[in-house]
Amino acid sequence: MRMRMTWLVLPQIRRHSTATSTSTSTSTRILGATFPTDAATNLSASVLERIPRRLHKVPNHPIAIIKERIEDYFVKTNQNYKIVDSLSPAVSTTQNFDQLLFDKDHSSRSPSDTYYVNKDTVLRTHTSAHQSEVLAGKQSNVGYLLTADVYRRDEIDLSHYPVFHQMEGIRIFDRKALLSESSADTFAPLPKGAKITDPTGLSNPETNPLQVAHAQKDSELVALHLKRALEGLVWHLFGSDKNLEIRWIEAYFPFTSPSWEMEVMYQGKWLELLGCGVIQQKILDDSGNPDKIGWAFGLGLERIAMVMFGIPDIRLFWSQDSRFLSQFENHTTKQITFQPYSKYPACYKDVSFWCPDGFHDNDMFEVVRDMAGDLAEDVALIDTFKNPKTGRTSKCFRINYRSMDRTLSNEDVDIIQDKVREEVARRCGVELRG
């Protein structure tokens, strides 16, 4: 069976205990609320430090700029969208998973993917976690746009960071007045020759089914409205790019059916921009809205900002260096392309070890995050070897250290690398090699 250790080392935890691991600690505070810790706790200090930053509310921050541009677009189509952007990231597992109809054994519930505050509370892994509560609040009979920081244990590279930002949009209609309500929104026409590929239609009985609770014509009307709204959004955001090309593909999410993803062609590759679909009627029923039908989408703001402003490294969003933030100050009057101010040299270090049962690569990445902070640009698994006699597996990871604002000396990096080695052995129970 998998043994997990916890390693919360926050100052407020130390007050309760002299141990540096949470196994003897009793609580953690998140934005003023106190949560008891338990054996499921797997938060790390480097992630908790990010919670108060709320980049989506920092004036002129690229994440906030994209948020505002998307809000402007939707509010132009219908001014009754409610804007929500200040909810705490600590949510119950019920909110994050159950209310959204995730199976009890869905992989995203795994502690190797999700930060558990304790066994019943997680740092939200997506903005969808708030669907039931916001819908139950009935603050708008049209829908809402909800922006928040979300948290996932993940790999380390130029486009992955354990904290990122999503926006969730929901549009609901009265089931009895669907036709008139859905035609009331004002969408600007798409440019002539807009390159949109959509082989997916409005449902597919085998691969992307309608819900039994929905009449086909109702579901199709909602799906058409959804696709039209999101195509308009992409032209609003990227319309100055004459070569813009998008495509729809079928998708699966537990909380929508039918479901799609929208992709955009960027630097010769299809890049996933968002997920969306017709909201599972059970979610509307359970939140006190059985008379409604609607759609939902969720998109990642970092990815859009990286494409829109040419930001090459996801760590830059967290930079407090004025050479980063000052570049976005006059975004309302000027089209901005980020000018990288420097690229300091990289320093590669390898670490190899024998893995214990249940070891997950994300456990290693977490140690690197904690010991190296934003000095780790990328961690790659470069070798895996299984000893046929003992059945044991050895892995070798290559860590690329690079600062965004200075040159690191080999000695600086060696100190961090030693800590990474020590901590990965201590926390993950690996046996270091070499």
Residues lying near ligand DAH in the complex (CB under 6 A): 126, 128, 168, 253, 256, 275-277, 296-298
- Of 254 and 429, the one with the shorter C-beta distance to ligand DAH is 254
- Of 168 and 313, the one with the shorter C-beta distance to ligand DAH is 168
Q: How far is the CB of 245 from ligand DAH (least distance, A)?
A: 22
What is the token pair recorded at 251? Answer: 């998708």
- Of 126 and 349, the one with the shorter C-beta distance to ligand DAH is 126
Q: Tell how strand 116-118 and strand 121-123 pair up.
A: antiparallel
3-class state of residue 398 by DSSP: strand
What is the token pair recorded at 222? Answer: 């909602």
In contact, 317 and 325? CB cutoff 8 Å: no
Q: How far is the CB of 253 from ligand DAH (least distance, A)?
A: 4
- Of 161 and 297, the one with the shorter C-beta distance to ligand DAH is 297
Q: How far is the CB of 362 from ligand DAH (least distance, A)?
A: 17
3-state secondary structure 163-230: EEEEEEEEEEEEHHHHHHHHHCCCCCCCCCCCEEECCCCCCECCCECCCCCCCHHHHHHHHHHHHHHH
- Of 123 and 296, the one with the shorter C-beta distance to ligand DAH is 296
Q: How far is the CB of 232 from ligand DAH (least distance, A)?
A: 17
- Of 201 and 310, the one with the shorter C-beta distance to ligand DAH is 201
Instruction: Give the list of residues 6+ apart from residue 204 with CB closer than 8 angstroms, or none.
Output: 250, 258
Q: How far is the CB of 226 from ligand DAH (least distance, A)?
A: 9
Containing 381, the helix (H) or strand (E) segment is: strand 376-386
In contact, 113 and 107? CB cutoff 8 Å: yes
- Of 151 and 253, the one with the shorter C-beta distance to ligand DAH is 253
What is the token pair recorded at 256? Answer: 């929508």
Q: How far is the CB of 86 from ligand DAH (least distance, A)?
A: 19
- What distance in Å separates the CA atoms of residue 406 and residue 412, rounded to the nearest whole number? 12
* CA proximity to 157, closest of 402, 430, 422: 402
Q: How far is the CB of 252 from ligand DAH (least distance, A)?
A: 10
- Of 77 and 256, the one with the shorter C-beta distance to ligand DAH is 256
Instruction: Give the list of residues 6+ apart from residue 136 with CB closer than 8 angstroms, or none.
Output: 287, 288, 289
Residue of minimal Cβ distance to ligand DAH? 298
Q: How far is the CB of 93 from ligand DAH (least distance, A)?
A: 15
